Every structure is written in structure tokens, then in C-alpha cells.
Structure 1
């Protein structure tokens, strides 16, 4: 079944190619069911930040499916330069309500592709009646955005496998590099712009990595040069230039704020350290003063006993050292307990 659909698509492209002088472009396809009169919209993407919804200012044509589910846009009213186009189908009514134009409709389907006024593009259904999963086109660049969407799915899976911050940082570095290298290899700045719109989307969890990357990576400036060389007057080139300049300023400001906070925190820590050292020395000084005051209240013999106790001498050793009896040593110790308001030998040693 799929081969037959492919053959039909290629045959249609051949026939339309023969009549190219009458109809310069043709974008056509089948939807999954055969219900007629479903509205299909064709948009040209000049503002890549409005890809996720059906923007009124970007819609250029609309048509209805026939009884077999077939639709077609054809004519000569497109630009000769390549552009990103979007074909969009949903089940909203034509009442211009907000859900219709903000992508909130049920069963909405869309596809992005690259084409110009001379291209014939056909969207076949797959073997299980899925739409917008394949493209047959006279322009080999038409399918690039579908290939990029497949890479996005791989990236999302990588991020979802482990939700840790470490995994997020590693995957951000890996996938930014992979997308940028792949974009360069395509030799089509529009495809790179499609990648950029995804990587720099503020709603993505990788946006903080993008702000760091744009500050350090020359890729973004190089992409602007490629856009300027191939699409110098396009609105999206101007938007991209303004956006990277703004984002670089935001990134530089955040980096500056980050370093400012580091300096502030460092100063607070250093100040705290000095305060603690000062308080420690002050506490030791007060303790020494208190010890000296307490020692002055003691007799010389009692001071000698205190000194020997702090050296872990026994009563017998103290008696031998001072040439007094053990009972006299005990008397001195009892007097010390009363004068210093302590009750054990350990308290006495701790005091001094």
C-alpha cells in the first residue's frame, strides 16, 4: 500500500512537472480519513517564533479537502527564494476563535518544509494512515525539517531518561554541538534557523545553557553571516540579528550578575571568617583574664597545686613535688573546690 502511495506521489510530481509553465508550484497530499470539506491552511514562516500556532499574519492560502481526503495548493504567488512553509489541518470551525489560531484545536496536524515557487511537494499517508510523516518533493531540502524533528525526539528521550542536573548539563552540551554540526552540514541556513528556534526557545529547560553558549560560541554569528549571504532582505534574517544581539546582552548581564553575587558572597564569607576569628581570640583573652583573676585569689601554695593538677599529677606526686603530706594536698584541693566553685578534679582542670 505504501509503495502504491509513493508511486502515486512521484507520478503526480511528474505530471505537475510537465505542466510547470501553467502551475509553478504545487503542495498537495492526502489526510488520514476521507471526510470532505476539512480546512487546510498554508502559511509562510517569516517569524520563526510563531511556528507553534496558526498565525493570521503568516497564512497565505486555505483550501478544503475533497471527498477522498485530497488537498492541493497551487499557483505562482510564492517567492522564488526558499522559505519555510507550514501546512496545518485541525478540527476547529472557521469562526476565528482563539483556540483555532493558538494551536489548541483537537486533532491538529501540521508539517514544516522548505520550498519555493518552482517546487512540487507531495505528502503521502503512511501504511497506517498517518499524515505528514513523509515528503516527496522536487526540492531535496523539503524533507530537512522532518529529519530535524526526528533528532528532536532523540534529544527529548535523552533528557527524559535521567532528570538530574548533571544529566541535563551533559546532554545540553552534547545536543547543542550535535544540532549545530548537523545544521552546518545541510548547507541551508533555513534548516539551521529551524534548529536555532528550537534550541533558543525560552520555554525549554535548555534555555539557560543557550544563554551560556551564545556568549562563548561563534556559531551564532556564523549562522547570521550565512543567513545574510543567502537571505539578506528576509524578515527572519533581521529578526535573528536583533534576537542574538539582545540575547548576548542578556547573557552578559546574567554573567555579570552571577560574578557580582559570587564576589558579594565571597566578601560575606571572608567577613564572617574574620568576625569568628576575632570572637575566638576575644573569648580566649577573656578566659585568660578570668583565670588570672581567679588565680590571684589563691595562695601561692594553692596556685602550685592547681598547676600540678593540670599536669595530671596524682595527690601523692603533688605531695612529693611540694614536700608536703598527702593529707595537706587534700586540704588544699578542698579549699580550691570551695574558692573556685567546682566539685571535681576534671572541673578544675577544665577551668585552667
Structure 2
């Protein structure tokens, strides 16, 4: 009985995942990288998924003569996280300057999802390419490669026709395609990988992302999924902060646009008011001028003015005033000079607007 208990305890310890589970990430590098270190990084900042960031590196190994490398231990998080394996040909003395802002043109990398007990292999492809295939016990590990494939198809669609209309139509289509694929994976980290691409400020899609953010509930739903599955992770904190900032930016932009048009309307109203005041003052001045002018007219000229406004001819005016036609013409010429006109039509127009 005693030995039975001991055997059961040993069997329990051997089979206990919490004690013996460990990750094993292995693969091959090509001939150009056989003499270089291979690095494993744990990525907690999804804005730094691609590039070389020393603060993310948790382990490094040197490949053997065949290019084979392996990372193994049991110190990774027990839940899914984002990892990167990369290799480079930079010397230790050059790294500081070459890796400026995380950029390294001499590196090759692959991103994947994994947790502490996963076994992952990165074999050569049939074309002998490295870091292009993931074989894993975790079915979510190769999701990023599938997302990259969709993005490549999207880039091809955009490049087919570089018109504004094509860009708008394709933006809506591919945003929806990527978001729906992410949801179908039931892994918020895959969606976060997609989000990091769509919301990248250096991306041509950023303007459409801000428009989509105003009307699409997808982004709030993604936050809920992240909080439910990874409540204490840095991914949640970062996403929540960025989402709030982008929403604030959209609200401010909308408010500024509304305020912009409001100010334009106010300015137009002010200008319209000023124009009315100017016209009123001009009309008032003209009326005052007319009164001053009329005071300068003789009694005979006033009579002739009234008859002109009644559409009487020179002959009719001469008959009514018992004067000759030539005398009437003289009076009319004097009248024209005093009121600053040159014809009967101008007289009628001037006194019509009086």
C-alpha cells in the first residue's frame, strides 16, 4: 500500500503540466545566417511587433552547422502571447547605429502566437525560404502568416488601379475582410495584429480607419474580447489607451469641422449685415443728395422734370408750358447737368430708385 502511494505521487509529479510543461521553438536559418545569433522576443507592445528592440529579447541561441536552432525552457506566460524570432547579420559594434528606431535591413523575422507549453517548428519551405511556415501544437500560431497573405492580396487590389474611387471601395472591402477573419479566429491577439496594421498612422489606410472608428462598433467589441480573455495583459491597457485617444481625436476633428462651418456662417452673416448697412447708407446719402440737387433746380426745371418722369416728349412739354421746343431743350440740358445724368432714361432710372 505504501509503495502504491509513492508510485502514484511520482506519476502525478511526472504528468503534472504545471511542473513539466515547457515550450520548444525550433527551426532552421539559411547559410547566410548560420554564424549569427537567433533571438526570441516576447512582444508586449504591439506597435513594436516588427523590428529589432533589445528590451523585448528574452533568449538567444547560436545555430549549429546545419543552421538548426532551438529555444526551450518553461518560463513563458501560460496564456497566449505574441512572440518574434529573428536573426541578423549585424556586428555587435554596428548594432547601435544600424538598429536605429528598431529598423534593421539585415534581419529576417517571423511573428507568431504561443504559450509556455507549445511546440513550434519553423522549417524551410519547398522554395528553401526561412521563417515562412509555422508548424505548431497551437492552432493560433500561424494566424499572423494568414493575415499577411490577406494583406498582400489587398495591396495587389489597391495597386491594380490607383484611382481615388478604387481606394475608397477597396478600403471598405478589405477592412471588413480583415476584421471578419480576425473575429473568425476567436483569438483577440490576431485581431490586435490586424488592428495594428489598419490603425498605423504611417499607413495610407489611416484616414479611412478614423472614419470607420466613428461608425463601426467593431473596435469597442474587440476591447471587450481582449478584456474577457486577457484582463490583466499589457495588450488591453495599450489598446484601451489608444482607442480612447483616437476616439477623442475623431471627436475633436468633427467638432473643429462643425465649428469651422459655424464661423464661416457667422462671417457671411456679418458681411451680409455690413453690406446692407453700406447700401442703406449709400441710399440715404443718395436721397440726401437728391434733395440737395432738387433745391438747386428752378421752378421751371422742376416742372420739366416731373413731365419727363411722366414720359412726355419735348414737344408735349413745350405745349403744356407754352414755351418753344428749343427753350425746353435748353432747360433740359441745364437739368441734366444739375442732377448729373446724360439722358431721359438715366433720369427715369435715378428717380425710380429714389
Classify 1:145/1:316 alpha carbon distance in 2 versus 1 (closer, same or farther; 3 Å): farther
CA–CA separation in structure 1 for the residues paired with 2:258 and 2:133: 49
Pairwise mapping of residues 127-166 of structure 1 onto structure 2 (< 5 A)? 127-157=126-156, 161-162=161-162, 164=164
Classify 1:29/1:346 alpha carbon distance in 2 versus 1 (closer, same or farther; 3 Å): farther
2:256 corresponds to 1:266:
no
In the alignment, which residue of structure 2 is the partner of 1:182? 181
2:58 corresponds to 1:49:
no
In the alignment, which residue of structure 2 is the partner of 1:17? none
CA–CA separation in structure 2 for the residues paired with 1:282 and 1:170: 55
Asked if 2 retains the 8 angstrom alpha-carbon contact of 1:31 and 1:70, the reply is yes
CA–CA separation in structure 2 for the residues paired with 1:212 and 1:345: 64
2:130 corresponds to 1:113:
no
CA–CA separation in structure 1 for the residues paired with 2:153 and 2:322: 90
CA–CA separation in structure 2 for the residues paired with 1:123 and 1:311: 104
Compute the displacement of 1:36 (Å): 2.2
Q: Does the residue aligned with 1:102 lie in a helix, a strand or coil?
A: helix
In the alignment, which residue of structure 1 is the partner of 2:71? 73
Q: Does the residue aligned with 1:87 lie in a helix, a strand or coil?
A: strand
Asked if 1 retains the 8 angstrom alpha-carbon contact of 2:40 and 2:60, the reply is yes
Classify 1:156/1:316 alpha carbon distance in 2 versus 1 (closer, same or farther; 3 Å): farther
- For residues 212-244 of structure 1, the C-alpha deviation after alignment (integer angstroms, 9 at most, x for no partner) is 544543322221221122112222122222332
Q: Does the residue aligned with 2:292 lie in a helix, a strand or coil?
A: helix
Classify 1:348/1:39 alpha carbon distance in 2 versus 1 (closer, same or farther; 3 Å): farther
CA–CA separation in structure 2 for the residues paired with 1:269 and 1:152: 47
Classify 1:311/1:128 alpha carbon distance in 2 versus 1 (closer, same or farther; 3 Å): farther
Q: Does the residue aligned with 2:24 lie in a helix, a strand or coil?
A: strand
CA–CA separation in structure 2 for the residues paired with 1:125 and 1:266: 65
In the alignment, which residue of structure 2 is the partner of 1:202? 201
Asked if 1 retains the 8 angstrom alpha-carbon contact of 2:43 and 2:56, the reply is yes
After TM superposition, the structure 1 stretch with the greater mean CA deviation from structure 2, 270-279 or 167-176, is 167-176
Asked if 1 retains the 8 angstrom alpha-carbon contact of 2:33 and 2:87, the reply is no
Asked if 2 retains the 8 angstrom alpha-carbon contact of 1:42 and 1:60, the reply is yes
- For residues 171-196 of structure 1, the C-alpha deviation after alignment (integer angstroms, 9 at most, x for no partner) is 54444333322221221100011112
Which of 72, 90, 93 is matched with 1:92 structurally? 90
Classify 1:100/1:311 alpha carbon distance in 2 versus 1 (closer, same or farther; 3 Å): farther
Classify 1:350/1:69 alpha carbon distance in 2 versus 1 (closer, same or farther; 3 Å): farther
Please give the TM-score of this superposition, normalised by the length of structure 1: 0.77
CA–CA separation in structure 2 for the residues paired with 1:316 and 1:133: 107
2:229 corresponds to 1:230:
yes
Task: Work out which of the two has the higher radius of gyration on C-alpha atoms and give 1 or 2.
Answer: 2
In the alignment, which residue of structure 2 is the partner of 1:39? 37
Asked if 1 retains the 8 angstrom alpha-carbon contact of 2:61 and 2:69, the reply is yes
CA–CA separation in structure 2 for the residues paired with 1:205 and 1:312: 72
In the alignment, which residue of structure 2 is the partner of 1:256? 255
Classify 1:246/1:331 alpha carbon distance in 2 versus 1 (closer, same or farther; 3 Å): same
Asked if 2 retains the 8 angstrom alpha-carbon contact of 1:53 and 1:101, the reply is no
Compute the displacement of 1:146 (Å): 1.7
Over aligned residue pairs, what C-alpha RMSD do you find? 3.5
Compute the displacement of 1:348 (Å): 4.9
2:291 corresponds to 1:292:
yes
Give unmatched runs, 5+ long, in structure 2: 1-18
Q: Does the residue aligned with 1:263 lie in a helix, a strand or coil?
A: helix
After TM superposition, the structure 1 stretch with the greater mean CA deviation from structure 2, 330-339 or 200-209, is 200-209
Compute the displacement of 1:151 (Å): 2.9
CA–CA separation in structure 1 for the residues paired with 2:343 and 2:49: 83
Asked if 2 retains the 8 angstrom alpha-carbon contact of 1:35 and 1:67, the reply is no
Q: Does the residue aligned with 2:141 lie in a helix, a strand or coil?
A: helix
Give unmatched runs, 5+ long, in structure 1: 1-20
- For residues 116-138 of structure 1, the C-alpha deviation after alignment (integer angstroms, 9 at most, x for no partner) is 23333333444554433333333
In the alignment, which residue of structure 2 is the partner of 1:18? none
State the number of aligned residues.
331
Asked if 1 retains the 8 angstrom alpha-carbon contact of 2:28 and 2:124, the reply is yes
